Structure 1
Amino acid sequence: MGIGLVDPILPAIAESLEATPTEAEMLFTAYLAVTGLAMFVTSFVSSRIGPKKTLLIGLALIIVFAAAAGLSNDVEAIIGFRAGWGLGNAFFISTALATIVGAASGGTGAAIVLYEAALGLGIAIGPLVGAALGDVSWRGPFFGTAALMAFAFIAITVLLRKDDPAEFRPTKLSASVRALGNPTLLALALAALFYNIGFFVMLAYSPFVLMFDVWGLGLTFFGWGVGLAITSVFVAPWLTARVRRSRVLWVALPLLALDLAACALFIDDVAVLVGLIIAGGLVLGVLNTVLTECVMGATELPRVVASGAYSGVRFLGGAIAPPAATELAKLLSPAAPYWAGAASVLVAAVIVVCSAKALARADADETETDAPAEAEAILIGDAA
């Protein structure tokens, strides 16, 4: 829910705190940059203290920093607290699904389906919750997040079994950074970085173009999230069962670039722009899932290490996009960020096409894998 919760209140924050759009967009940048950088070290920590403690540390950090953001009176403080929130987010998402798989009684497949369904529901409902709370005050979504995470903290404390030190498999601090020396993983990480720029141009810049009230933005991104959830859970697996993963990327990435270019062309037609944003969600759902599947089959490295490296680079692309978009709009034109997003996604497509040989392993059929590590790879990829 968190990824879309703040979206409907971005213009309200800018207006209430007399902040520029770029300052408001830094709420995304601080959060994503710290999450991305922390991804390179969370596996080192969690492999030593265990998943339950890691989850609780992540949730505690989110509770503290989300509540602090809600109590703040200037945008600079909120940006700083969002950075702390991002650190908590990294600890949580690097561990959560692996723990779900380990605790579930219905097997790995059932646990992953439950996760995917919850992810899709959260992505869709997040903007609506943000709109409802933001309609009361721009502070509402921050306090709402703190309350939800407090509930999760209590639930994990009570219901999740204690960590067993005998199950710990410590990884080296440098493991995720060194993993980027693998050509296949590096190609996927770079493609995801440029793809994520387009993703967050659509997600974080569009509220300032539409200029709807909180409910208008909430409903728009509810439609976006529903589309993303449907294609992520149902369409992407159907496609990859019939077509090579890299070939799906060859088609889906240019489609997203065309959608962003259309947003630039029809930027003055609000109804068309809303439709294009929702259509973009359909393509994004496919790309999220297929890129993650590629990472899972890309290397012989432990999945937790490979996925941490991939996600660290990918999140940094998301961190760059929001403030860069508003600055481009100010310097050139309101349509310029969409053109830049389209160009960035095309760069991702070129990387995928030019890396066909390196991606051959990612196209291969999956062999039997360690379930918790595989689950973690899925979670980290989707949570971006």
Structure 2
Amino acid sequence: MGIGLVDPILPAISNELGASPSETMLLFTSYLFITGIAMFFTSWVSGRIGVKKTLLAGLVLVVVFAALAGSAGSVDAIIGFRAGWGLGNALFISTALAAIVGAASGGSRQAIVLYEAALGIGLAVGPLIGGLLGEISWRGPFFGTAALMCVALIAIIALLRQPKDAPKPQHVSIFASFRALRNPALRGLAIVAFFYNFGFFVLLAYSPYPLAAAAKAAGLDFGAHELGLVFFGWGLALAITSVLVAPILTRRFGLRPVLFTMLTALTVCLVLLGLLADVLSGLIAVVIVSGLLLGVLNTALTEAVMEATDLPRNVASSTYSGVRFLGGAIAPAVAGPIAESFGAPVPYWVGAAAVVVAIVMLGIAGHHLAHIGRPHETTEGEAQAIAAGDA
């Protein structure tokens, strides 16, 4: 929920705190940058203190920094508090599914489907709740997040029990994730994800501003609630395809063909968003359609990372996710200045160019990915990879 919850209130924060869109979009940059850096070390942390303590540490950080962001008096303070929020996010997400699979009684496959469904619902509902609370005050979504994460914290303390025969945490080197980048298959997929996530977060972090501007030009009142509804549709589309459509496509056509097709379609969507930057109905339609593509891409890339390397899965997936989030962190930081200097459509076209680079890199890495399709090593490894990859 936290990924999209802030999206509908970005224009409101700009108006209330006298910040430019470029400054406000740094809320995404600080969050994603710290999440990305922390991902390189989460496998080491969980190996030292265990899954449950890692989950609790992540939730405590999210509660504290979300509440601090809600009580902040300047956009600079919110940017700083979002960085602490990102650290908590990395610790929690990187271990969440491994904990679910370890505690499940109905089998790992059902547990993974439950996790994917919960993740998708969160991505959809986050902007909706953010919009509803944002209509009251821009501070509402931050305090709402803190309250919900308090509930999660209490639930884990009270309900999560480690099985008696659970293996001890596996100790890994603090530098394991950096060494993992020597693997050419993992390095290739990480670079693909870096450029893909640049396009992803241009769409997610920048789109509220063209939407609000197009609505204003049309004489419509388009506040946090309306933006929340648009991104609810986007998140719902993403949730449906990530859980229901992506597995069917990847098993019928293969991972690489699906990735090439979806990346190409996402490029087209970003180009269209640039062409329709002042047309409200066009922007809404393309944003929601793009969610269908992003759901497939997220799942397919995660599967590819699971299959591509013989490295320990928690290390490989954390490394991949760290690089991926760094690509997402850069996008909001550059989208605002580009729009101010060259016009509203241009950030979308830069995002499209980044996705084209991802397509080229996927082609270059092809000979390292020929073995994709072998069975997963373990269900625990599958869980760890999906958890970090989907974060």
What interval of TM-score do these two structures reach, taking the shorter chain for normalisation?
over 0.9
CA distance in 1, matches of 2:367, 2:347: 32
CA distance in 2, matches of 1:289, 1:102: 21
- 1:209 corresponds in structure 2 to 210
Question: Residues 250-308 of structure 1: CA distance to partner in whole angstroms, max 9, x if unpaired?
Answer: 11101100010011111121101110000111110110000000000011100000001
Q: Which runs of structure 1 show a deviation greater than 3 angstroms over 4 or more consecutive aligned residues?
A: 162-166
The answer to whether residue 275 in structure 2 is matched with residue 274 in structure 1 is no
Amino acid at match of 1:143: F
Q: What is the number of residues matched between the two proteins?
A: 381
CA distance in 2, matches of 1:80, 1:373: 34
- 1:352–1:69 CA distance, 2 compared to 1 (3 A): same
Deviation at 1:163, TM superposition (A): 8.3
The answer to whether residue 253 in structure 2 is matched with residue 246 in structure 1 is no
Amino acid at match of 1:95: T
Greater shift after overlay, 139-148 or 372-381?
A: 372-381
- 1:365 corresponds in structure 2 to 374
Structure 2: gaps spanning 5 or more residues: 213-221
Deviation at 1:364, TM superposition (A): 2.1
CA distance in 2, matches of 1:263, 1:334: 10
Question: Residues 221-275 of structure 1: CA distance to partner in whole angstroms, max 9, x if unpaired?
Answer: 0110111111111111001111120111111101100010011111121101110
Structure 1: gaps spanning 5 or more residues: none
The answer to whether residue 151 in structure 2 is matched with residue 151 in structure 1 is yes
CA distance in 1, matches of 2:258, 2:374: 15
CA distance in 2, matches of 1:171, 1:350: 33
CA distance in 2, matches of 1:373, 1:18: 47
Question: Residues 11-56 of structure 1: CA distance to partner in whole angstroms, max 9, x if unpaired?
Answer: 0011101011111001000000000000011110111111111101
Residue among 344, 347, 355 paired with 1:334:
344
With the length of structure 1 as denominator, give the TM-score of the two structures.
Answer: 0.97
- 1:190 corresponds in structure 2 to 191
Cα pair 1:50 1:163 within 8 Å, conserved = no
- 1:377 corresponds in structure 2 to 385
- 1:125 corresponds in structure 2 to 125
Give the secondary structure class of the aligned counterpart of 1:365. Answer: coil
- 2:39 corresponds in structure 1 to 39
Question: Residues 126-157 of structure 1: CA distance to partner in whole angstroms, max 9, x if unpaired?
Answer: 11100111111000000000000000100100
The answer to whether residue 311 in structure 2 is matched with residue 301 in structure 1 is yes
With the length of structure 2 as denominator, give the TM-score of the two structures.
Answer: 0.96
Amino acid at match of 2:198: I
CA distance in 2, matches of 1:341, 1:373: 32
CA distance in 2, matches of 1:244, 1:115: 23
Amino acid at match of 2:323: V
Cα pair 1:51 1:163 within 8 Å, conserved = no
- 2:139 corresponds in structure 1 to 139
CA RMSD of aligned residues (A): 1.1
Deviation at 1:207, TM superposition (A): 0.2
Amino acid at match of 1:176: S
Cα pair 2:266 2:355 within 8 Å, conserved = yes
- 1:97 corresponds in structure 2 to 97
The answer to whether residue 168 in structure 2 is matched with residue 160 in structure 1 is no
- 1:323 corresponds in structure 2 to 333
Amino acid at match of 2:254: R
CA distance in 1, matches of 2:242, 2:197: 16
- 1:199 corresponds in structure 2 to 200
Amino acid at match of 2:170: R
Amino acid at match of 1:373: G
- 1:166–1:271 CA distance, 2 compared to 1 (3 A): closer
Give the secondary structure class of the aligned counterpart of 1:264. Answer: helix
Amino acid at match of 1:53: K
Amino acid at match of 2:59: L
- 1:173 corresponds in structure 2 to 174
CA distance in 2, matches of 1:72, 1:305: 36
Cα pair 2:103 2:163 within 8 Å, conserved = no
CA distance in 1, matches of 2:91, 2:163: 16
CA distance in 2, matches of 1:159, 1:99: 12
Cα pair 2:202 2:351 within 8 Å, conserved = yes
Identity across aligned pairs (percent)?
A: 59
Cα pair 1:99 1:372 within 8 Å, conserved = no
Cα pair 1:52 1:163 within 8 Å, conserved = no
CA distance in 1, matches of 2:247, 2:382: 16
CA distance in 1, matches of 2:188, 2:14: 37
Cα pair 2:120 2:239 within 8 Å, conserved = yes
CA distance in 1, matches of 2:134, 2:7: 10
Deviation at 1:167, TM superposition (A): 1.5
